[in-house]
Amino acid sequence: MIVEQNPLMRPLIERSEWLFASVKSLTILGVYVVMRGYGQSNRDFVRKAAMIGVSAYVVLWAAWFAAGTAHNLKTEAHVPEVVLVAPVSPAAARHTF
């Protein structure tokens, strides 16, 4: 199961993977179109903005990933392992089932 750490995108992926992928793709396409157009008049700004944006995305992704991993480790650590053992009499142990 996919668990999205971004609280803004989480409801989308919980509803549909296709909806999530579409919104993500359209967002990236929209940013590309705007930056491409503005880059014609102010290339240096667009390059700096792109680097800052990508860097911020990587930092946020790493933080959400780490938070999700830490949460999963805590959750798994509190789940006790249950082993059921049924008593077997010596007579029952001689029979094969």
User: pLDDT tens digits for 49-92?
Assistant: 999 999 998 998 898 888 877 766 666 555 555 555 555 556 55
Q: How far is CA 93 from the centre of its chain?
A: 49
Q: How many domains does the chain have?
A: 1
Specify if 94 maps to a domain: no
Burial (CB count <10 Å: 0-12, 13-18, 19+), residue 46: middle
* Global confidence as pTM: 0.55
Specify if 95 maps to a domain: no
Specify if 44 maps to a domain: yes
User: pLDDT tens digits for 32-53?
Assistant: 999 999 999 999 999 999 999 9
Residue 42: domain span: 10-77
Q: Where are the alpha helices (DSSP H) in the chain?
A: 10-15, 17-39, 43-77, 90-94
